[in-house]
Amino acid sequence: MGKDECKTMLDALNKVTACYRHLVIALGSTSDSQNLREELKKTRKKAQELAVANRTKLTALLKDKSISKDDRAEYERLWVLFTSSMELLDVDMKRSLEIGQDFPLKVPTRHLIQTGMTGSTTTVAARAMSVQNMKYEADANIDTVDLKELETEIAQVDQMMEEMEMKVQVAPWAVEAKQEAGAELKSTVSVGNSSVGVISICEEEPKETVEGETGLMKVFAGIIFTVVLLIAGILGYLVINL
């Protein structure tokens, strides 16, 4: 059905937007590299494909005059989700252009900000592209070449958003969200699925590193204690038997 298809596509776009933001944050820091630039390019292209697909589907659904009022309200809600996603993507693309220009990679005295992040972002990009492993095949000067493409893509996205604003008459303030405050504490899997399962989304992060450390220390102490007890027990047994 049209609605379910829409929802899965929106989920995918949402996922790619989140991953793209994650990658853009890493720009200019010590985790910036050729690979990151290529990952950004690929994620961006994927995001754009999904955006165009979503837009065509949603505009077709909204143009249909013969849908019921409930259906229309639902499609308007999905439309607001879509436009919010596009806005985030737009801002992130513009920021990645700005930061990419400020921090070129192939410069003799390159000064990337040493922020403490040194790992690679391959897994994030792989999640965005829905592949197991990323393949890197770009040439060495991707950071400058890509920026020009990025400019044209930003212009395209801006134009698309303007068209959307003109052609589709949806009042975003009239849409009521389905989720209430605190809804993120119950976890659901996707936009459409409203099953309330208690799937843990993220592992328990130590609230502050100090607390986490004391917790770990307790665990270690416990392990060492039991090991010592075991050794004592075994030695005692051997002494008695020998």
Partner 1 sequence: MTINTLSQDGVQRQQMSCLTKMERMVISMQDPDMGIKLRNQRLLITVIPHAMTGADIVEWLIKKCSISDEEALHIGQIFVKYGYIYPLKEPRNLILKVDDSPYRFQMPYYWMSTRWPASELDYAIYLAKKNIRKQGELIEYEKECYNALHKRINHTWDFVVMQAREQLRASKQRRKADRIVLKCQEQAYWLVNRPPVSAELYKLITLTKNTLAMLIQCSLNAKCAIKYIYVKYCEQYQPHDPIMQGCLPSIPWITDDIMFWNMNCETVAVPTKLRVERWSFSFMELLNDPMGRKEFLTYLKKEFSAENLCFWQACEDVRHGETSKIPEKVDEVYKQFLTPGASRWVNIDSKTMEKTLEGLKRPHRFVLDDAQMHIYFLMKKDSYPRYLKSDLYKNLFARAIVPQETKKR
What residues between 17 and 46 interact with partner 1 by CB under 8 A?
17-19, 21-22, 24-31
Q: Which stretch binds partner 1 (CB under 8 A): 34-42, 52-60, 86-94, 140-148?
A: 86-94
Q: Give the Cα separation of 135 and 234 in Å (integer).
A: 54
Q: Determine, following the binding rule CB under 8 A, whether residue 57 of this chain makes contact with partner 1.
A: no
* Block residue for tokens 């849908």: 67
Q: Which is nearer to partner 1, 145 or 175 (CB)?
A: 175
Judge whether 19 and 85 are in contact, CB under 8 Å. no
CB of 134 to partner 1, least distance (A): 12
Q: Determine, following the binding rule CB under 8 A, whether residue 222 of this chain makes contact with partner 1.
A: no
DSSP annotation of 67 reads S
Q: Determine, following the binding rule CB under 8 A, whether residue 83 of this chain makes contact with partner 1.
A: yes
29 three-state secondary structure: strand
Query: Which residue from 65, 107, 108, 111 is in contact with partner 1, where contact means CB under 8 A?
Result: 111
CB of 27 to partner 1, least distance (A): 7
Q: Which of 41, 42, 32 is nearest to 146 (CA)?
A: 41
Query: Which residue from 41, 61, 121, 142 is in contact with partner 1, where contact means CB under 8 A?
Result: 121
CA angle 91-184-8, nearest 5°?
A: 65
Q: Determine, following the binding rule CB under 8 A, whether residue 147 of this chain makes contact with partner 1.
A: no
Q: What tokens appear for 224 in the block?
A: 């060492």
Q: Give the Cα separation of 102 and 27 in Å (integer).
A: 10
Q: Give the Cα separation of 54 and 82 in Å (integer).
A: 8
Q: Determine, following the binding rule CB under 8 A, whether residue 54 of this chain makes contact with partner 1.
A: no
CB of 10 to partner 1, least distance (A): 8
Q: Which is nearer to partner 1, 38 or 43 (CB)?
A: 43
Q: Which residues pair with 197 in a beta bridge?
A: 187
Residue 66 CA from chain centroid, whole number = 36
CB of 142 to partner 1, least distance (A): 19
Binding-site string for partner 1 from residue 151 to residue 190, where x marks contact by CB under 8 A and - marks none = -------x--x--xx----x-xxxxxxxxxxxxxx-x---
Q: Determine, following the binding rule CB under 8 A, whether residue 123 of this chain makes contact with partner 1.
A: yes
Q: What one-letter code names the amino acid at 199?
A: I
Q: What tokens appear for 162 in the block?
A: 């303007």
CB of 204 to partner 1, least distance (A): 8
Residue 43 CA from chain centroid, whole number = 10
